[in-house]
Amino acid sequence: MSFEKSLKKPKVVAKYALAVRVFHWVGALLILLAFFAADLNDDYIGLHKSIGASFLIWTILRIVTRFVTKTPAYVSAPAWQNMVAHLTHLALYVAMLAMPITGILMSMYGGYGVSVFGLFELTAIVGVDRDMAKLMNWWHTEFVWSAMCILITLHIGAALYHQFVIKDNLIARMR
């Protein structure tokens, strides 16, 4: 590729730390698995809860890793786009915490235990409360889940826009 061409289509090389990249892709896979387990039938709800609770632990470790590793500088884009990207990422982290937390609280308020693959059981931190269980059910299955779906759609849409319209190979930062 000529020098001029390489200027027109800058190749993004700065990458997130390896640990951040592993957290990102395994996290996405866990959400997909949790979604399928929730949608199968009631026999799989234990599996759904195990995957979901593991996802909470995964997300906490992920956020810690994000803070202790060096993040590549923004790619050159209009300031408003960087701002939208930043806010979307922030909202994704909130949703990634809120999804399992509302799920766990829904179970605990409902008087159900939360076992993680039969290895250990989460200690109930709240007593039985049908109204709160119902509220958490709404947050979990309606509000937070819808918000998460919208955010993921925006996020993947932006990644595709970078890949196929801007062609700046942004995805390499996370690969």
Measured on CA atoms in the order 152, 154, 157, 161, is the torsion positive or negative? Answer: negative
Hey, which residues does 121 pair with through a beta bridge?
115
Phi, psi of 111 (to 5 degrees): 85, 15
Residue 118 structure tokens: 């039969």
Supply the DSSP symbol for 69: S
Residue 23 binds to ligand HEM (criterion: CB under 6 A): no
Residue 116: count other Cβ atoms within 10 Å of its Cβ: 16
Residue 171 binds to ligand HEM (criterion: CB under 6 A): yes
Q: Choose one: 3-11, 123-131, 152-160; the region binding ligand HEM (CB under 6 A).
A: 152-160
Residue 100 binds to ligand HEM (criterion: CB under 6 A): yes
What is the closest distance, in whole angstroms, from the C-beta atom of residue 11 to ligand HEM in the complex?
Answer: 14
CA distance 67 to 62: 9
Which positions from 63 through 92 interact with ligand HEM, judged by CB under 6 A? Answer: 66, 71, 85, 89, 92
What is the closest distance, in whole angstroms, from the C-beta atom of residue 55 to ligand HEM in the complex?
Answer: 4
CA distance 151 to 165: 20
Residue 126 binds to ligand HEM (criterion: CB under 6 A): no
For ligand HEM, the closer CB: 18 or 28: 28
User: Among residues 113, 131, 133, which one has the least CA distance to residue 123?
Assistant: 113
> Which residues contribute to the site for ligand HEM (CB under 6 A)?
24, 27-28, 31, 34-35, 38-39, 45, 48-49, 52-53, 55, 66, 71, 85, 89, 92-93, 96, 99-100, 103-104, 106-107, 114, 137, 140-141, 145, 152, 155-156, 159, 170-171, 173-174
